[in-house]
Amino acid sequence: MYIQQLYTNCLAEAAYYIESDGEAAIIDPLREIEPYLELLETRGAKLRYIFETHFHADFVSGHIDLARKTGATIVYGPGAQAYYEITVATDGQEFEIGSARLRVIHTPGHTLESSCFLLIDPQGIEHAVFTGDTLFIGDVGRPDLAVRSNLTKEQLAEMLYDSIHTKLMPLSDEIIVYPGHGAGSACGKSMSKETFDTLGNQKKVNYALQPMSKEEFVKTVLEGQVTPPAYFPENAKINKGGYDPIDEVMERNLTKLSADRVADLIAEGVLVLDTRSTEDFVRGHIPGSVSIGLDGQFAPWVGAVLEFNRPLVLVCDPGRESEAVLRLARIGFERVHGYLEGGITSWAASGRPVHQLRTIDAANLAREIAQGSQVIDVRRPAEYAGGHLAGAPNLPLDDYRQWIATLDPNKPYVVHCAGGYRSVIMGSLMLAAGFTNVTNVAGGFGAMKQQAELPIESTEAVVS
């Protein structure tokens, strides 16, 4: 028996390959399926099943393309309804992969169809459980993403409590827990950077598995959840309804565009998405473009801050165009006209203006404040509570649509995050929205803490 975790850092997502006696199953595959096909070919195995733990909201699964290419059966848990051919399993149903078996454990709570898959090895020993978004390392799935008109997030949290306590916690402490996500995913609030663990250790260290009443569990799990990204419902619809083959998406979105054509598209309302590094963006970019760099958590932030159906043109470092298009397709962003051929260099060579995002070192921040600039902290609430500049409001990037309209676009603002990636995103969004005086702090809060003249507060005490 062979198990391989295929972890994608950008989405903090884990897919799984399981093989026994030349037969294989894949759990929760990503949109690009070549790595799975290559793994099957390398190992000489035939794919029998594609298991989906639920209808994912944070990425478009590769299950349909993988089934098209291999003929494998797509399996969902009880209650799943899709607009393509699937097998809807019953609770406790077992599927053979060679001499191993996967048993379906229906665990509603994150979503109604959410299910875990218990791997029973050829010797009949319960070896591992693939928990999807029901149980993470250090956390549990958030129950506020699948609210129905007749089902509240509190009711879903109660269902999650029952699923965990009646279906998962009775399993052996030696069983390995393989979750669907790790730290950085918006599908939970306090996931560990570790990507697997024993169930026994999770019973000791996972806050949500500690002894507590159902009422306490509901309150604890719902408390402190960040606003879910706006693209989540759209991805869930895609995963339920189906999508175009990824090969077709790549072919039509990888169109070379001249500077003249990009200028015409901008005039038509197309948004320029600049995927280069933050350092390159602040030095020079197309006016009105938004910076979300490929070297950060690119896809989740695209989904969080951009309108889902907004048509895009890409500015990329030469050679990274395919990567950008693919990573957008992972979250269903497929309205891409193409990319600027030659990158920002060709735009500048055409004689069109190139703008900069003003950036200062933390050592100069006190002077900016003295001159009347308002500092904005765009980190998440938990980060802010752990320490922040006195007097700086917390306006998280995740929620920028809710608060940007409350600001005067003619006043001077200084934006910062933890290290600089998110503040450049926010600065570019503000400039694109018509703000006239926006400054970014290089190095973010990490650099600010090193400046003795800046008063730093936490929720507990002033730490100066």
Q: pLDDT category, 463, cuts 50, 70, 90?
A: very low
Task: Please check whether the two domains, 244-349 and 358-457, share a CATH topology.
Answer: yes
pLDDT exceeds cutoff 90 at 120: yes
Report the alpha-carbon distance of residue 348 to residue 354 in Å, rounded. Answer: 7
Q: Which amino acid is at 104?
A: V
Kindly state the percentage of the chain with pLDDT values over 70.
98
Phi, psi (rounded to 5 degrees) for 364: -100, 5
Q: How many residues does the chain have?
A: 464
Return the minimum-mean-pLDDT range out of 134-148, 190-204, 322-336.
Answer: 134-148
* Helix (H) or strand (E) segment spanning residue 313: strand 312-315
Q: Which of 10, 187, 316, 417 is catalytic?
A: 417
pLDDT exceeds cutoff 90 at 227: no
Q: What is the average pLDDT across 112-128?
A: 97
Report the alpha-carbon distance of residue 102 to residue 18 in Å, rounded. Answer: 10
pLDDT exceeds cutoff 70 at 461: no
What letters, b where the CB count within 10 A reaches 16 and e where it falls short, cover 59-86? bbbbbbbbbebbebbbbbbbebebeeeb
pLDDT per position as a tens digit, 403-422:
999 999 999 999 999 999 99
Q: What is the average pLDDT across 56-65?
A: 96
Report the alpha-carbon distance of residue 143 to residue 371 in Å, rounded. Answer: 45
CATH class of the region 2-228: alpha beta
Token readout for 161 is 């409590």
CA 211 and chain centroid, separation? 30
pLDDT at 112: 95
Q: Name the CATH superfamily, with its identifier, for domain 358-457.
A: Rhodanese-like domain (3.40.250.10)
pLDDT exceeds cutoff 90 at 225: no
pLDDT exceeds cutoff 50 at 153: yes
Whole-prediction pTM? 0.92
Token readout for 454 is 């800046």
pLDDT at 149: 59
pLDDT exceeds cutoff 50 at 464: no
Report the alpha-carbon distance of residue 443 to residue 423 in Å, rounded. Answer: 10
pLDDT averaged over the chain?
Answer: 94
Domain boundaries along the sequence of the chain: 2-228, 244-349, 358-457
Q: What is the average pLDDT across 225-254?
A: 93
Counting other chains too, the contacts that 284-287 makes at CB distance below 8 Å and 24 or more residues apart are: 284/344, 284/348, 284/354, 284/355, 284/356, 285/315, 285/344, 285/354, 285/355, 285/356, 285/357, 285/428, 286/262, 286/315, 286/344, 286/347, 286/352, 286/354, 286/355, 287/353, 287/354, 287/355
Residues near 238 by beta carbon (within 8 Å), at least 6 away in sequence: 60, 332
For residues 218 and 154, is the Cβ–Cβ distance under 8 A?
yes
Q: pLDDT category, 146, cuts 50, 70, 90?
A: confident
pLDDT per position as a tens digit, 312-369:
999 999 999 999 999 999 999 999 999 999 999 999 999 999 999 999 999 999 999 9
For residues 76 and 89, is the Cβ–Cβ distance under 8 A?
yes
pLDDT at 148: 64
Q: What is the average pLDDT across 276-293?
A: 97
pLDDT exceeds cutoff 90 at 462: no
pLDDT exceeds cutoff 50 at 30: yes
The verdict on whether 417 is a catalytic residue reads yes
Q: Which amino acid is at 310?
A: R
pLDDT at 459: 66
Of 135, 111, 87, nearest in space to 232 by CA: 111
* Kind of pairing between the strands at 271-274 and 290-291: parallel
For residues 86 and 63, is the Cβ–Cβ distance under 8 A?
no
pLDDT at 314: 98
Q: Name the CATH superfamily, with its identifier, for domain 244-349.
A: Rhodanese-like domain (3.40.250.10)
If DSSP codes are grouped into helix, strand and coil, which group holds residue 261? helix
Q: C-alpha distances in angstroms, 288 versus 271, 428, 444? A: 8, 8, 23
